Amino acid sequence: MTIKCGTGARISDGKGSEYLDFDLNGGRLILGHAHRNVVLGVKKCAERGIGFGTTSRDEENLRRELLRKFQNLQDLFFTVSEGEALLDAVALACRAVKRKKVIACCSRRVLSVFESLGMTHVTGVAVEDIETLQKIFADQPEHIAAVIVEPLILEKMRLVSAEYVHAVTELCRKHGALLISDERRSCYHSASGLVSREVGLKPEIVCLGGVLGGGFALGACGIAEGAVVPKDFYTGDPQISPVIFRAGLMTVKVLNDALFKTLDDRARELAEELNAACQESGGTARVSCFHHLLKLHFPGSGGQQYGELQEFLLARGIYISPDVDEPFSISLAHSRKDIKMLKETVGEYFKALRH
């Protein structure tokens, strides 16, 4: 499917087919497509120049806005992508404590990135596997620079447990390792802004992404207040266009507690209604949500059934990610009628399966 344009909650291929979009560029378009404020801001910025090869005023404005929002951070620097933010966080932690090994308590997708890059100094551990984490620290405590934690388990769409947060925190404090919170897919999806706040995690370094670029790819590393890290390391990337920073700035300026509450309420209501539709039709799938992100869970891997559902929805004018591991999301552009259409169409799919 090739898309020509998108407005609000809809995308079009320019050939007469229009779709309700519940993917929203991986959840990054929290305001929907072509939001007026973002478009006008980007247009005005582009008229002043696309790129300068050095720090732009728009970069500084977005940095100030984020530091105002995340008052537990003393500084942050931007990266050209979310992936670069995580790699820079690893390098920064190793340099800060002068150690070489990092433990990544992350999802399969994150671990595969380290494996593909041949980063043998990064050891993967399953999320919430405290026993294995303790064993690694017991074997080589003097070599571990940091532990990476995903406070939101995206594949299961739930927060890590309080017991896990406490155990990881105590291990890092005891052995002088840093905590890195990977929030590239979850930051700014709620009024708190950072999921680490919601679970009581206090990292020295936070990896950011998602909504920050206003739909563009943009990553960032935040440095917590009081964290001792080499300041000459984080200089940012001068090649990032000011247009991207402006899109991000216009997006985060629109968001406020009332809008987040609206999104939360609609997502929660949708999850409840989808679960009811699944049960009524005898389906074995279920839906969970985290603020405006929602996840469909099927028995087993669920890849085949998810693919069938995705095709069923697409044929009826609804687009969700073709990737079973990816969440779908609602934006401020989705009306109650749009959400009702998704609920009813998913219900039709499960009824069709039963019969």
The larger pLDDT score, comparing residue 84 to residue 281, is at: 84
328 φ, ψ to 5°? -115, 170
Residue 198, Cβ density class (10 Å: 0-12 exposed, 13-18 middle, ≥19 buried): middle
159 φ, ψ to 5°? -80, 155
Q: What is the pLDDT of residues 163-203, one digit of tens each?
A: 999 999 999 999 999 999 999 988 988 888 999 999 999 99
Cβ–Cβ < 8 Å for 92, 71: no
| pLDDT of amino acid 355 | 62
Cβ–Cβ < 8 Å for 321, 24: no
Residue 320: CB atoms within 10 Å: 24
In this prediction, residue 235 has a pLDDT band, given cuts at 50, 70 and 90, of low
Query: For every residue of the chain, which 3-state class applies, written as one string?
Result: CCCCEEEECEEECCCCCEEEECCHHHHCCCCCECCHHHHHHHHHHHHHCCCCCCCCHHHHHHHHHHHHHCCCEEEEEEECCHHHHHHHHHHHHHHHHCCCEEEEECCHHHHHHHHHCCCCCEEEECCCCHHHHHHHHHHCHHHEEEEEECCEECCCCEECCHHHHHHHHHHHHHHCCEEEEEECCCCCCCCCCCHHHHHCCCCCEEEECHHHHECECCEEEEEECCCCCCCCCCCCCCCCCHHHHHHHHHHHHHCCHHHHHHHHHHHHHHHHHHHHHHHHCCCCCEEEEECCEEEEECCCCCHHHHHHHHHHHHHCCEECCCCCCCCEECCCCCCHHHHHHHHHHHHHHHHHHHC
Using CA atoms, how far apart are residues 196 and 209, in angstroms rounded to an integer? 14
Q: Determine the average pLDDT of the residues in 69-92.
A: 92
Cα 116 to Cα 111, 119, 150, 316, distances in angstroms:
9, 8, 20, 37
Residue in the structure block whose two tokens are 């891997």: 301
| pLDDT of amino acid 326 | 86
| pLDDT above 70: residue 302 | no
| pLDDT of amino acid 311 | 94
| pLDDT of amino acid 247 | 97
For residue 234, which of 119, 83, 59, 79 has the smallest C-alpha distance?
79
Using CA atoms, how far apart are residues 90 and 100, in angstroms rounded to an integer? 9
Q: What is the pLDDT of residues 318-352, one digit of tens each?
A: 999 988 888 889 999 999 999 999 989 988 888 88
Using CA atoms, how far apart are residues 339 and 350, in angstroms rounded to an integer? 17
Give the list of residues 6+ apart from residue 179 with CB closer than 8 angstroms, or none. 146, 147, 149, 168, 169, 172, 201, 202, 203, 204, 205
| pLDDT of amino acid 105 | 93
Residue 175: CB atoms within 10 Å: 17
Q: State the chain's mean pLDDT as an integer.
A: 91
